[in-house]
Amino acid sequence: MEKLFYLDSYMKNFTAEIEEVEERDSKYHVLLDKTAFFPGGGGQYCDLGTIDNISVVDVYEEDEKIYHVLDKKPNRIHKVKCEINWDRREYGMQHHFGQHVISACFNNEYKAKTVGFHLGSEAATVDIEGFFKEEDILKIENMCNDIIRKNIPVEFLNITKKEAKKLKIKEDLSKLSDDIRVVKIDDIDINLCCGVHVKNTLDLRVIKIKKFEKYKKATRIEFLCGTKAIEEMLKRDNYLNKICKLLSSNEEDAYKGIEKLNNKLNEVNKENRRLEEIISNYEIKAMIEEAEKINNMSVVVKIYENKTMNYINKIANKIGEKDDVVGLFVLINNDKLNLLFTCSKNLENLDMNDLLKDSIKLVDGKGGGSKVLAQGGGKNNGNIDSLFDYVKIKLKSN
């Protein structure tokens, strides 16, 4: 079978003869006399498209034959028109080759090996052995884009093992046949690869590293190439223009303005936490003084609607530091509610976990915790008062 994708990776349409059609599990596996559909490999996924206007849902290679999986049986076998889904091919081709460039730069600059590559639907990631700082990542990004601008032709070589050894190929050749495909970027990089690639580095247009993070013993780098990278940068530029317009400033002043707003927000949040701490202390004191007394215990019952569970947890923890206090709290959020039961540590005969699990059934909920603090969630079904009454009865009988 003639592999047209190796002869011209930019081929979008071709005409072929159907040599075989086999039905398997309601799908039709079609063998052509030649194909531009890449079956996938080297971390790059397979091509999709149409054959005789029928969707190609998968492409795979088996026994050196490439099969095209169709939903329907083709109506004819001679001079069948085939079309590649070019957006998918271009995205995969650019990001696959982009990984070659990034890996080559890390290897040449830091002697760092590539230990992983993943081609996702929205971005690609490459894992580079070791840990790198932001300035290292920016340096590599600049190196990659310098290579792109040089418009270096990409060479594809079909060679033997003996020839591969002379070229000092890094990969292990022992398990390979004597027909080896090599991708070479001038003196920048050379390695084995069965994928489809761009013809020159300029066709990548740009490499943009979106983010990076530590991953096991490596640095995982998320990046975009070519058409996808340009679309992303144009989108970001549009948002940046909107931000500048909103702040009536240029890019640099916009950044400084946002930084100033962020610092101000942090100061406000810090002050809010300080005031919340003061308010919570007063609130706890008032709640305990007004609480119902049951068996020498102050039973605090409080229903919240405009607070967060973090705030309620803070109240609960402070109540736990007092003596002879039980706190029964509910946070209502539309048709749902959250319950938090707590008690002082000196009330050793009480178990908030058992109390919550027993009473939360009244609101069709579930939950649990420890002897001194338990939480759960349920439905706002109008049974909150009944739930509190039930808990008070249990406390009286304790």
The three-state DSSP-derived secondary structure of the chain is: CEEHHHHCCCCCEEEECEEEEEEECCEEEEEECEECCCCCECCECCCCEEECCEEEEEEEEECCEEEEEECCCCCCCCCEEEEECHHHHHHHHHHHHHHHHHHHHHHHHHCCCEEEEEECCCCEEEEEECCCCHHHHHHHHHHHHHHHHCCCEEEEEEECHHHHHHCCCCCCCCCCCCCEEEEEECCCEEEECCCCCCCEHHHHCCEEEEEEEEECCEEEEEEEEHHHHHHHHHHHHHHHHHHHHHHCCCHHHHHHHHHHHHHHHHHHHHHHHHHHHHHHHHHHHHHHHHCEEECCEEEEEEEECCCCHHHHHHHHHHHHCCCCEEEEEEEEECCEEEEEEEECCCCCCCCHHHHHHHHHHHHCCEEEECCCEEEEEEECCCCHHHHHHHHHHHHHCC
The residue with greater pLDDT, 306 or 313, is: 313
Q: Please state which CATH class domain 291-396 belongs to.
A: alpha beta
Mean pLDDT of 49-72: 94
Whether the predicted pLDDT of 48 surpasses 80: yes
Mean pLDDT of 232-247: 87
Q: Does 2-84 match 90-239 in CATH topology?
A: no
Residue 168 has what pLDDT?
Answer: 62
Mean pLDDT of 280-289: 78
> At 177, is the pLDDT very low, low, confident or very high (cuts 50, 70, 90)?
low
Residue 246 has what pLDDT?
Answer: 82
> At 184, is the pLDDT very low, low, confident or very high (cuts 50, 70, 90)?
confident
pLDDT tens across 343-359, in order? 998 898 899 999 999 89
> At 307, is the pLDDT very low, low, confident or very high (cuts 50, 70, 90)?
confident
Mean pLDDT of 258-278: 79
Residue 349 burial (CB count, 10 A): 8
The burial class, CB within 10 Å (0-12 / 13-18 / 19+), for 195 is: buried
The average confidence (pLDDT) of the chain is: 88
The residue with greater pLDDT, 251 or 148, is: 148
Beta strand residue intervals within 196-251, DSSP E: 207-215, 218-225
Q: Which CATH superfamily is domain 90-239 in?
A: Threonyl-trna Synthetase; Chain A, domain 2 (3.30.980.10)
% of the chain beyond a pLDDT of 70: 94
Residue 333 has what pLDDT?
Answer: 87
Mean pLDDT of 22-36: 93
Residue 287 has what pLDDT?
Answer: 83
Which residues touch 55 (CB under 8 Å, ≥6 apart)?
Answer: 48, 49, 70, 71
> At 243, is the pLDDT very low, low, confident or very high (cuts 50, 70, 90)?
confident
Whether the predicted pLDDT of 43 surpasses 70: yes
Domain 2-84 has CATH 3.40.50.300: no
Residue 376 has what pLDDT?
Answer: 93
Pairwise CA distance, residues 9 & 197, whole Å: 7
Q: List the domain boundaries for the chain.
A: 2-84, 90-239, 250-288, 291-396
The pair of three-digit structure tokens given for residue 257, joined into one six-digit string: 């303005």
Residue 316 has what pLDDT?
Answer: 84
Residue 283 has what pLDDT?
Answer: 74
The residue with greater pLDDT, 319 or 79, is: 79
Whether the predicted pLDDT of 174 surpasses 70: no
> At 213, is the pLDDT very low, low, confident or very high (cuts 50, 70, 90)?
very high
Pairwise CA distance, residues 372 & 294, whole Å: 17
The residue with greater pLDDT, 249 or 74, is: 74
Residue 169 has what pLDDT?
Answer: 66
Whether the predicted pLDDT of 175 surpasses 60: no
Residue 259 has what pLDDT?
Answer: 81
| DSSP 8-state code for residue 361 | G
% of the chain beyond a pLDDT of 90: 55
Residue 167 has what pLDDT?
Answer: 66
Residue 47 has what pLDDT?
Answer: 95
Mean pLDDT of 123-135: 95
The residue with greater pLDDT, 47 or 175, is: 47
Pairwise CA distance, residues 32 & 77, whole Å: 9
